Amino acid sequence: MGSEDVVIDPWGSAQSTDYSRIIEQFGLSSMDDVHLPSPSRLHRRGIVFAHRDLEQVLDAQRQGDSFGVLTGLMPSGQMHMGHSMVIDQVKWFQQLGGDVTIAVADLESQATRGVSLEKGRKVALEEYIAHYAALGIDPEKTNVYFQSSRPVVQRLGFQLGKRTNLNELEAIYGFSGETNLAHVQAPLVQVGDILHPQTDEYGGLRPIVVPVGVDQDPHLRLTRGLASKTNWFNVNDGKTSGVLIGLSVQDDNADVLGQLPNGRMDRERLNSVFSGIVSSLEHLGFSDIQSNPKQGTVLVPSATPKDKSKIRMKLLEYERSLGGMGLLAPSSTYHHFAVGLTGEKMSSSKPKTTLFLRDDLATVEKKIKRAFSGGQATIEEHRRLGGNPDIDVAYRYMMYFFEDDDAYLQRVNADYRAGKILAGEMKQLCIDRATAWLGDLHEMRDQTAHLVEDFLAEDAR
């Protein structure tokens, strides 16, 4: 690893905000050329800045096919404004028609933070789910479960563990010989979290999107890699054109795919698998399909790269009909971290850096008054040189959390730069909006408290 490389540690306190470098280094796609239906505030303002395979989800949405949203929460500490960004996106996807699954990472919290399962449950419900309800997540279309009480999640983690090893975990997470094994298992359980909504028991094959902060991307890279490794059929661009499908023969599918233990082929089996592939593709409307069982490939000359995702879906269905897991790599979106009130990183362990959703309004006011400012040292200088909204926390919090009106925000931005709005005035604008927003939230929380139970899946009650 070069010294220039960004290292992302999902459990660490360091946080890179070099977002263009992160996009490049980890192969994320920029949101710039994605066309979203009714973009939310976080989208319009470029705060959701990157994704992996989001088109797969948007295609499903456009075609009226089902898709799911998954997020997880670590039940430790208090919920703060930073956490609300993921919930904003979950709500947005839910309004577009996605079904929502929420993992309470009680096993991870126990393994990495020493929180007992009992305490984890209490914190999850009273602190997190109570606020999700207040923030407008619809309990009728949401399923909350606990890692510790959903066997399929742990089973998937265990099964897929077979497809990775300590070297890969070391490369992704920086684990070493001293790493506690509970810590090694936590990411595999998270793989189970992310993939299990596709199982037949939990909704069946459909695209699943996971909105996260960039710190969680290592888990998505691991999950996507493991899901792809289990696939029986690989879908690639053809050499010159078209889409090329190849067979991935593995221990657990060799007999189904017609590979005899002595290394020879069961022709009939193989041919029947290939006619299955062809008829799956014909269902999509392709007709010029070139099936080549001997080489183990099928070419669809008229297919374009854009067709790959629907081809992949069809083949996963077919794989399932043959007894495979048929796992689709998850999609994800990434948002910028909100800066801490003090200008450093936002962190629950440093209350001065953030607004907790339970902070009373007097505390909110006090914290914002002390926030890092982009104003000049004196009023005279500020009037002359103008302030810098890009680093002004009060402005940024309105942009990230509290102000919906884009035109208003733009005016405030321009007036601050022009020195017409003073730093103290900017803070007051933010205080007005933050206290109104949090005041409303507190009221909603009282009104929706009785809904918390309705969020829980059968196995979480």
Give the amino acid at 175: F
Stretch 311-370 residues interacting with ligand TRP (CB under 6 A) = none
Q: Which is closer to ligand TRP, CB of 216 or CB of 231?
A: 216
CB of 183 to ligand TRP, least distance (A): 12
* Residue 223: other Cβ atoms inside 10 A: 24
Q: Which is closer to ligand TRP, CB of 212 or CB of 368?
A: 212
Asked if 210 is part of the footprint of ligand TRP (rule: CB under 6 A), the reply reads: yes
Asked if 105 is part of the footprint of ligand TRP (rule: CB under 6 A), the reply reads: yes
Q: What gap in Å lies between CA 397 and CA 401, rounded to an integer?
A: 5
Q: Which residue has the closest beta carbon to ligand TRP?
A: 72
CB of 10 to ligand TRP, least distance (A): 6
Please, are residues 347 and 312 in contact by the beta-carbon 8 Å criterion? Answer: no
Asked if 108 is part of the footprint of ligand TRP (rule: CB under 6 A), the reply reads: yes
Query: How far is CA 66 from its chain centroid?
Result: 18
Please, are residues 337 and 13 in contact by the beta-carbon 8 Å criterion? Answer: no
Asked if 217 is part of the footprint of ligand TRP (rule: CB under 6 A), the reply reads: no
| Order of strands, sheet of 290-292, starting from the edge strand that comes earlier in the sequence | 233-237, 243-247, 297-300, 290-292
Give the amino acid at 458: E
Q: Which is closer to ligand TRP, CB of 11 or CB of 372?
A: 11
Q: Determine the interface stretch with ligand TRP among 23-31, 68-76, 313-321, 396-404 (rule: CB under 6 A).
A: 68-76
Nearest Cα neighbor of 163 from 257, 246, 227, 75 is 227
Asked if 194 is part of the footprint of ligand TRP (rule: CB under 6 A), the reply reads: yes
Q: Which is closer to ligand TRP, CB of 195 or CB of 371?
A: 195
Q: What number of chain residues touch ligand TRP (CB under 6 A)?
A: 13
Please, are residues 22 and 275 in contact by the beta-carbon 8 Å criterion? Answer: no
Q: Determine the interface stretch with ligand TRP among 42-50, 71-79, 158-166, 391-399 (rule: CB under 6 A).
A: 71-79
Asked if 222 is part of the footprint of ligand TRP (rule: CB under 6 A), the reply reads: no
- Collapsing DSSP to helix, strand or coil, 299 comes out as strand
Asked if 87 is part of the footprint of ligand TRP (rule: CB under 6 A), the reply reads: no
In 3-state terms the chain splits into helix, strand, coil percentages (rounded to 5) of: 50, 15, 35
Token readout for 441 is: 């939230």
Q: Which residues bind ligand TRP (CB under 6 A)?
A: 70-72, 74, 103, 105, 108, 190, 193-194, 210, 212, 216
